[in-house]
Structure formats: C-alpha cells, structure tokens
Amino acid sequence: MTKFGKWAGRALVTAIATIGLTGVAQAWEPTKPVEFVVPAGTGGGADQMARFIQGIVAKNKLMAQPLVVVNKSGGAGAEGFLEVKGAKGDPHKIIITLSNLFTTPLATGVPFNWRDLTPGAMLALDQFVLWVNADAPYKTAKDYVEAVKSKPANTFKMAGTGSKQEDQIITAMIDKATGKKMTYVPFKGGGDVAVQLVGAHVDSTVNNPIEAEAHWRGGKLRPLCIMDSEKLPYNEKVTATQSWGDIPTCKSAGVPVEYLMLRGIFLAPGVTQDQVDFYVNLFKKVRETPDWAEFMKKGAFKQTFMTGKEFSDWLGKTEAMHYGLMKEAGFLAK
C-alpha cells in the first residue's frame, strides 16, 4: 500500500475503533482477504504448512474472508518480516515463522526482531532428526559419532538448508559434541537436502521429519536419533519395523544436542487485542480438525500450543538461546 493509503487506512482504523468503543463491543472479524505471508520459498516446510492451513480454513469455512498465501523469501525471509513490520496496525496481514525469525537478523544484521511484531500463537514445534543413507554402515547414532571421531576433521559432509540457519546451528552443536568439524554444505530447500542424502552425495542431514518421511518409508534413509529431550509420542509404524516413537534421543546416544523449531503465527505491530484474539481462535479451530491431526502425525510435530505471555516468554528465552549458539559458532553479523 502507498504511504497515503497507509495513513488513510490508519485514520479509518482509528475511526472504526472509536465507534467500536462507544458502541457495543463486538468481536472483530476480517473485512477483506487476509494475506498470509510465508518468509520462505514455495515448497518448503513453512510454505507447506501455510498452504495446508489455507486449505483447512477454506475446506471447513472457518473464516468468511479468504486466506491468501504470499511468499516473501528474499534475504532468508527478511523480506517477509520487514513487510509485516512495516504494515503497522494492519490486521489483514499475518506471517508464519520458522527459526529464521531469530537467525536472520542475527546472521545478516537486517533490522528486525520478533518484538517488532505482535505474537499470535505457537502452532507446533518441528523436530530435527539425524539421518544417514540406508546403505551406510552406521546403525546407531553412536556408530556414526565414533566414525566421525576416528577420521580427520571435514571428512564427513552434512547437507542442510540455507546458511547460518537452524541446520547449520545444529551441525555446529554436533561438531562441539564430537570434537570434530564436519563440512556443512548448504542447499536451497529441505526436499533437495533429503535427495542429496538419498543419492549418497553427502553423509548425513538433519532434515525435519516431514521432509524425509517418504524416503524413510521407501527404505532409502535411516534415522539415527532425534534432537529433543524425549522420544516422539507417535507409535504407529512408519516402516515395517519402526515408528517415530522408536527413534532414540540424541542425548541418550551420546550426542547432547536438543533443538526444536518454532512454527508460529505473528501479526503486524500495533493491532488490537480483539484482532489477536480472532486469529488465536481461528488457529484453535484449525488445530481441532482431523486433517490437522493427520498432518501433525505425518510430520511427527511436537504439538505444543502457546499464546499470550507464555508465548512471549518462550520467544524471549529462545532468542537468547539462538544468540548464545550463534555467537559460539561465529555466525553473528559483523
């Protein structure tokens, strides 16, 4: 929107808010299509989730106005975050976030911070699993770690998505645990990364479950351990013999690495509590659908839901954690 448009829009919002205050307090509802910004490219994890939510909302008619997914992936998502940051007071713009909410400003110095946006809700947390090719000789995480330790540094290649983002941070954490550096090779998307491992062009990846699930089922990849404090609660068999719940934690395998990625919703700065409540309720309804439950199971997500102060506290803590990890790994912007 243009400057003048924004100004006029704000005036209009203020006017409506004033009327709202004097009249009967009515629940807010979107009055035009809602833009759903994805700070990542088409086909990635965040994009898949956003489009899935769009589908659920449309299919179950959860909102009178449509939800429109817009990809703004430039500068590791900075483009999308800056867009929402700039749309002050606009309640028709929401953004789905991933770890780049923390990593992008820290790594690039692009000026934004989660505090510039209005936190909506945490939808789920995404897990990370250490994968190797099914033909590789390593059956357990311990085997793999021993192999890494016994060879000179940089012998093993780890593929991941993007640079100085979650995958590389995890790699740095594993490096620290083993004491040997692995070569990190960045690719554009999680799907590409998994295929590089299937084709045995690299030795391991830390793909999210949903990115590698099909290859696991197809007998091409093998999960070694999961980077969480406890095993996954999904006990339905994925392959003939294993379920997500059978994957041991990395900690128990001697690699003390824990990392979860945020999948949450943020609003533009300066929106009213009413407007936040509308979206929080909307996502509560989305989470109640059977489609969502199926999606969570398929992608082995951790189904934590948070809003309000609890969510803000979590964000503050997680940001501090990223700062610490990235400082240690030398990923901070100079």
Partner 1 sequence: MERSEDAAEAGMSNRWPEILVALFLFAIGVIVVSDSIRVGTGWEEGEGPRAGYFPFYIGSILLISSGWILIGALARIRKPQPQFATWEELRSVMQMLVPLSIYIVAVVFLGLYVSSFVLIAYFMKVHGKFGVIGTVLTSVGVPLAAFMLFERWFLVPLPKGPLELMLGL
Partner 2 sequence: MEELNNLMHGFSVALTLPNLGFMVLGITLGILIGVLPGLGGANGIAILLPLTFSMDQTSAIIMLSCIYWGALFGGAITSILFNIPGEPWSVATTFDGFPMAQQGRAGAALTAAFTSSFVGAFFAVLLITFLAPLVAKFALKFGAAEMFAVQMLTFCSFVGMSKEPPAKTLAVMALGFAMAAVGMDTVTGTLRMTFGYPELLKGFDFLIAVIGLFGIGEILLTMEEGLAFKGKSAKIQLNVVLQTWKELLRYWRTSLRSVLVGCWMGVTPGGATPASFMAYGLARRGAKDKDTFGKGNIEGVVAPETAAHAAGTSALLPMLTLGIPGSPTAAVLLGGLLIWGLQPGPLLFTEKPDFVWGLIASMYLGNIVGLIVVLTTVPWWAAILRIPFSVIGPVIIVICAIGAYTVHSSIFDVVMMLVFGVFGYLFKKLRYPLAPLVLALVLGDMAESSFRQSMLLSQGSLDIFWANPLVAGLMLLSFTMLLWPIVPALKHYLRGRG
Chain residues binding partner 1 by CB under 8 A are 1-5, 8-9, 12, 31-33, 35, 66, 68, 154
Q: Which is nearer to partner 1, 134 or 329 (CB)?
A: 329
Q: What is the DSSP letter of 202?
A: S
Binding characters for partner 2, 109-148, by CB under 8 A (x = yes): -x--------------------------------------
Candidate segments 170-178, 199-207, 227-235, 244-252, binder of partner 2 by CB under 8 A: 199-207
Q: Is 75 left (phi over 0), alpha (psi -120 to 50) or beta?
A: left
User: Site for partner 2 (CB under 8 A): which residue of 187, 244, 266, 311?
Assistant: 187
Q: Which is nearer to partner 2, 86 or 270 (CB)?
A: 86
- Integer distance in angstroms from the first to the last C-alpha of the chain? 33
Nearest CA-CA partner of 25 in 318, 274, 277 = 274
Q: What is the DSSP letter of 195?
A: H
From CA 207, how far away is CA 261, in angstroms rounded?
12
φ, ψ at 249 (rounded to 5°):
-75, 155
Q: Which is nearer to partner 2, 92 or 220 (CB)?
A: 220
Number of residues that this document lists for the chain: 334
From CA 169, how far away is CA 164, in angstroms rounded?
7
Number of residues that bind partner 2 (CB under 8 A): 58
Tell whether residue 300 is a contact of partner 2 (CB under 8 A): no
Candidate segments 87-95, 187-195, 262-270, 314-322, binder of partner 2 by CB under 8 A: 187-195
From the list partner 2, partner 1, none, partner contacted by residue 8 (C-beta under 5 to 8 A by kind): partner 1
Binding characters for partner 2, 243-282, by CB under 8 A (x = yes): ----------------------------------------
Residue with tokens 């290649």: 157
Q: What is the DSSP string of 270-330?
A: T--HHHHHHHHHHHHHHHHSHHHHHHHHHTT-B---EEHHHHHHHHHHHHHHHHHHHHHHT
Q: Which residues bind partner 2 (CB under 8 A)?
A: 2, 42-43, 47-48, 51-52, 54-55, 58-59, 66, 68-70, 72-76, 78-79, 82, 107-108, 110, 154, 157, 162-165, 183-188, 191-192, 194-196, 198-199, 201-202, 213-215, 217-220, 291, 294, 298, 331
